Structure 1
Amino acid sequence: MERRKFIGALSFAGILGTLIPQRILADEKHEPSVYAKNDRDYWYKLLYKIAGPVVHNLANGTLIKNMPLEKSPTFDSRSPSVTYLEAVGRTYAGIAPWLALPDDETKEGILRKSFRNEAIKGLNKCFTPGSADALNFSKDHQPIVDAAYLAQAFLRAPKALWEPLEAQTKTNIITSFKSLRNRKPFKSNWLLFGSITEAFLLTIGEEPDTVRLNEGPKMLNEWYKGDGWYGDGPNYAFDYYNSFVIHSMMVDTLAIMAAKNLVEQKVYDLALKRMQRHAVGQERMISPEGTYPPIGRSITYRTGAFQVLAQVSLMEKLPAGIKPAQVRCALTKVKQNMYETPGTFDKNGWLQLGFCGHEPEIADYYTSTGSLYMATLSFLPLGLPADHEFWTGAPVAWTAKQAWAGKGFAKDYHVDY
């Protein structure tokens, strides 16, 4: 596999110094895990390190030129070109809440503004017909998935990512999203991809495909198994798809439908309660050492597995008994364990196939480089301001760490909703 040079060395300082004025990080010369001032400092620098190659290259019109195309050894017959829309949709869904914060003159704020400007520039470029980075919406079913993540990004940051776009870019995005209506999502979590894309179109005054809008929430409710777990289709799957997709897109879609009086408020409230219940399990699955089980499909999406816990934190809807600081501490430790493992990034800063390091053989048949940027979905709490309790609260041991230290912790019980 050919890996083209992107921007210097792997270190965060090397990447950052290339993309923004040197004065911003004049004193940053080391990896953030060692020299970060605090957890937030570590998080935003790590998110920038992960997402930077995608956003920067998209802004320069060089995403397709420079992004390495590493595929699973068992990659199927879909067009490899789907990987670029995967990278864009998933990355933007993860960075959107952070970019939505207001500008300020802190080091983080200056970086965030620069990154937001690049993100907007990149979207204007890749939705220009004939551009070097024009994204594939016409081949295969895969674009249904990643149009949904891009739609979710716009829902998470409408003023930061949607409103500033050029008028023609907006028209081209709407046309691209509507073009997917000639392909039906599979009878699985995919139904929610169609639903959230239509929900986004509804928010900007476009007429939605009502069948597609309603089918996701309807079928997933029929497949609900209890205690915070939906089936992925009629069968139960013990993996992370309830977090990668189901709870997040169910809640975000129903929020729009409830606001438009297309469903009763109690339908949304129930979906949120189920999401909160799932978050309880997610927090308890993080070991005292900051690891979690490599269970099921798509484990190469890495910390995207914790989108539910991240999103309820962003929404300030953590279940009773879970303090924001314990989520912060737990996820920080997971990120350190995962992203500081050699082989996670290639020499130019792109994510590589693997769970903890570079392990192409564990990638699923639908997985390529762009797929991996689901990892950004665990960074949603960066959308909370720096003075929020999530960031300022004193360190707190998470549940498993308390339990295995022989300290008191809350017991857990099944719920009936």
Structure 2
Amino acid sequence: MFVLDLPEDDRSLSPHTGYTRAHWEATADGLLRAALRFATPHHALLDLPGPPSQSGVRSDGLEGFARTFLLAALRGAGAYGKDPNGFLERYTEGIDHGTRTPGRDDAESWPLIGHHGVQGQPMVESASIALGLRLTAPWTWDALTPDARDRTEEWLRGALRHAPAPNNWYLFQLTVAGFLESVGRGDAETARAIDRPLGLLDGWYQGQGWYSDGDGRAFDHYNGWALHMYPLLHAHLAEDRALLDRLGPRLEEFLDGFALLFDANGAPIHHGRSLTYRFAAGAAVALGALTGHTPLAPGTTRRLLSGALRHFLDRGALSADGILGLGWYGPHAPTVQRYSGPASPYWASKGFLGLLLPADHPVWTAPEEPAPVEGPDRALALPAPGLLVQTTASDGLVRLHNHGSCKVRPWEAERPPAEPLYGRLAYSTRTGPTSADNIPDNHIALQVRGVRSDRLRIEPLAAGPDWLASSHTPLFPPGGPVLPAARLDSLTLVRGRLELRVHRTVNIPAGTTVHHTGWAVALPPGTATETDATDGAPEVSLAGAEVTGQLLGLHGWDTSRTVRAPRGTAYGTWALVPELTGTVGEDPSGTLFAALASLTGDPGPAPLTGLAAVDVSGHTVTVRWPDGTRTVVDFGDGGADSVPTVREETA
């Protein structure tokens, strides 16, 4: 069984994680040694064990080479070329052999780069190879023969001559072109490949430090590990002060909120696609320190980075062979995208970006400081991406309420089912969404003729300091019911660990069944018991090993129950989900539903019953809290275009 050879914890310098730069270097070395056992004889491909991706075995082998080369490059560049393990020499040999006869079906040749959707995956990998070469040029590029450099350039230019996916893929072209220009091989083609992505990036910028991943409203970890990372790292390496001044403040503003999305236990928020990249989530945190555009103290930066790395190493992210497997901790199929192959998790290499900081940088020498989540309770509304961050100091838990991020492009039809990692109302650092095959957690759905609706395109409605509201069209699977002009408006307001969830129906027929679910809690199968519906919608409480989820109907709900999710979540192989059920009323202007939810890591949380009382009048919900304050959620006159408002009142 493979075991990382790590130094002893240093609890003096790093009281929170025990990790120092030496731990990062040892982890990088261990990951590389484990992966390189699967290289072809001349190291051009790494055929890691596991089922192939949709791109095929040869593309997967290139992916294994490219993504681990990026790790070797960060390790080698951070050590100023010192490479006692000979990693860079092996990768240089692999580049030489992989580019000799590209496209040939032999033991070493790299696949040619094609258009997205037609042999496009090599374009993704070309960026890692180009970036690795740029970081290590004195020890890799310069070590290649002139002929090998020409062949490598020609192969890389395939990324500039084919169509990328309409999203962060354009930054792969920028990265390739930036490398070619850095070694004196720039021309009009490379200039266009830099200017075009930067222009698109400005169009995708939505404010508050957040980019959408292409046109539309897809906000997730790609914002940090791709949309900020590639252009800003290019600007840093090129010493392009104008571009740094243009993009750097966006990164700094992003980090001000993003830093809250790391749990006290180190976990990043479990939301969005490609989560198998794991501690790559820290790439933007390291990038802020590298470029000088960060609001975080050096000790806080290391706390976040090392917390994320240790979180996954301690929880089984490495297989018995020392390989990063597909999943979150251990293998977990619902976490994996269709495009993922055995080597895909090695985009986690981006998490090692901090190694580019010299050993005497304050990020490595300053004592660790607490993570932002370990400060006071926070409620941070981010209207630009439509995300509401909720943290609690007592348990270090992070919840992310989603009222704006969705994986539907402007030109795409809304077609159920929704992607579980985008369509839910809320996500956290200790729970994962249930599989698409099971009941959805944190969801609001209609049920018509036995079929439940889905939440796909999410339209932000309104925002306040501690609340967000959005709207969506409830859609049913193809061939299912169609409700003309139907709409569900949803609002989340947070207060400490509590979540007030209010929903309004618009143009939905009276008598329609409405279901609302809370947090999915992973439980051992032998202790997890599904309950039947209970009249009166009493509180449902589910206590797992790390969290307790609670859901209480306040208004409009007739019954409550727990429902099993036998495919579990990334946090356990079996889970239960609390559910409330109600019925749309006769008022043609719509029906209001209100619930109180909680997810906490504190043991033995108090019941939700008694923590809030509600009065409903027309389209206004007034919530009375135990401290005597009142929250008034007003949906106005109930018209189809009315937008909710929230005001706080004292008794």
Shift of residue 258 of structure 1?
7.6
Q: Secondary structure at the match of 2:143?
A: coil
Distance 2:72 2:299 in 1: 21
CA deviation map 1:166-190 (0-9, x unaligned): 3332122101012334421122111
* Residue 246 (structure 2) aligns with: 270
In the aligned structure 2, how far is the partner of 1:41 from the partner of 1:255?
25
Runs (5+) with no aligned partner, structure 1: 1-8, 14-30, 260-264, 407-412
Determine if contact 2:208/2:253 at 8 Å carries over to the other structure.
yes
Aligned counterpart in structure 2 of residue 132 of structure 1, from 68, 86, 107:
107
After alignment, is 359-368 or 56-65 more displaced? 56-65
Q: Give the secondary-structure state (helix, strand or coil) at the position aligned to 1:184.
A: coil
Question: Which among 65, 70, 83 is matched to residue 60 of structure 2?
Answer: 83
Distance (Å, rounded) in 2 between the aligned partners of 1:218 and 1:33: 47
TM-fit CA distance, 1:405: 4.8
1:115-174 CA-partner distances (Å, limit 9, x unpaired): 333333333343343762322124511111110121122233332332223333212210
Q: State the alpha-carbon separation in 1 of the partners of residues 134 and 250 from structure 2.
A: 21
**What's the secondary structure of 1:116's corresponding residue?**
helix
Aligned partners of 1:392 and 1:253: how far apart in 2?
A: 26
Which residue matches 2:309?
335
Rounded Cα–Cα distance in structure 2 between residues aligned with 1:219 and 1:152: 21
- Greater share of helix residues, 1 or 2? 1
Give the distance between the partners of 1:383 and 1:340, measured in 2 at CA.
24
The alpha-carbon deviation at position 219 of structure 1 amounts to 0.9
Contact 1:99 1:383 in 2 (8 A): no
Contact 1:96 1:154 in 2 (8 A): yes
* Structure-2 change in CA distance of 1:359 and 1:395 (3 Å): same
The counterpart of 2:369, out of the listed 387, 390, 396, is: 396
Match of 1:20 in 2: none
- The answer for the alignment partner of 2:281 in structure 1 is 305
Helix, strand or coil at the partner of 1:151: helix
Aligned to 1:366: 339
Partner of 1:17: none
Aligned match of 1:193: 172
* TM-score (ref. length: structure 1): 0.78
- Specify the code of the residue in structure 2 equivalent to 1:10: F
Q: Alignment partner for residue 182 of structure 2, among 200, 203, 226? A: 203
Question: Distance in 1 between the 2:19 and 2:192 partners?
Answer: 47
Among candidates 321, 327, 330, match of residue 354 of structure 1: 327
Correspondence for 1:324 among 290, 298, 310? 298
1:212-255 C-alpha deviation (Å, 9 max, x unpaired): 33211101111210011111122121211112211111223455
CA contact (8 A) 2:63 2:344 kept: yes
Deviation sequence 1:271-307 (CA, Å, 0-9, x none): 1211222223332211122112110111011111221
Q: Which amino acid aligns with 2:374?
A: K
Deviations 1:56-87 (CA, angstroms, capped at 9, x unpaired): 6548436757521434xxx54x3342222222
* The one of 33, 43, 63 aligned to 2:24: 43
Matched residues in 2 for 1:101 and 1:59: separation?
Answer: 27
Flag the structure with more relative contact order, 1 or 2, with Cα contacts below 8 A and sequence separation at least 6. Answer: 1
Cα pair distance change 1:338/1:86, threshold 3 Å = same
SS at match of 1:225: strand
CA 56–127 in structure 1, closer or farther in 2 if over 3 Å, else same? farther
What residue number does 2:231 align with?
Answer: 250
Q: Which moved more, 1:394-403 or 1:32-41?
A: 32-41
Q: Distance in 1 between matches of 2:350 and 2:124?
A: 15
Match of 1:361, SS state, is: helix
**Residue identity opposite 2:59 in structure 1:** V
Could you tell me which residue of structure 1 aligns to residue 629 of structure 2? none
- CA gap of 1:293–1:217, structure 2 versus 1, over 3 A, is same
SS at the partner of 1:132?
A: coil
Please show how residues 109-120 of structure 1 align to structure 2 within 5 Å. 111=84, 114-120=86-92
Q: Give the direction of change, closer, same or farther, for the CA distance of 1:397–1:318 in structure 2 (3 Å limit).
A: farther
Q: TM-score, normalised by structure 2?
A: 0.52
In the alignment, is residue 236 of structure 1 matched against residue 217 of structure 2? yes
Partner of 2:4: 12
Q: Which amino acid aligns with 1:137?
A: L
Letter in 2 for 1:293: I
- Output the CA distance in 2 between the equivalents of 1:370 and 1:211: 31
Match of 2:72 among 78, 95, 99: 95
The CA distance in 1 between the partners of 2:360 and 2:234, in whole Å, is 29
Any residues of structure 2 matched to 1:53-92 within 5 Å, and which? 53-55=34-36, 57-58=38-39, 60-61=41-42, 64=45, 66-71=47-52, 76=54, 78-92=55-69
What SS class does the counterpart of residue 86 from structure 2 fall into?
A: helix
The one-letter code sitting in structure 1 at the alignment partner of 2:140 is L
**Does the aligned pair in 1 maintain the 2:262–2:268 contact within 8 Å?**
yes
Tell me the equivalent position of 2:153.
Answer: 174
Count of residues paired in the alignment? 365
| Partner Cα separation in structure 2 for residue 354 and residue 238 of structure 1 | 21
Unaligned runs of 5+ in 2: 12-17, 377-391, 395-464, 466-651
> Which amino acid in the other structure matches residue 159 of structure 1?
P
On the 8 A contact 1:148/1:196 being kept in 2, the answer is yes
- Distance in 2 of aligned mates of 1:122 and 1:168: 14
> Which letter maps to 2:207?
G
- From the superposition, tell whether residues 64 and 90 of structure 1 become closer, same or farther in structure 2 (CA, over 3 Å): closer
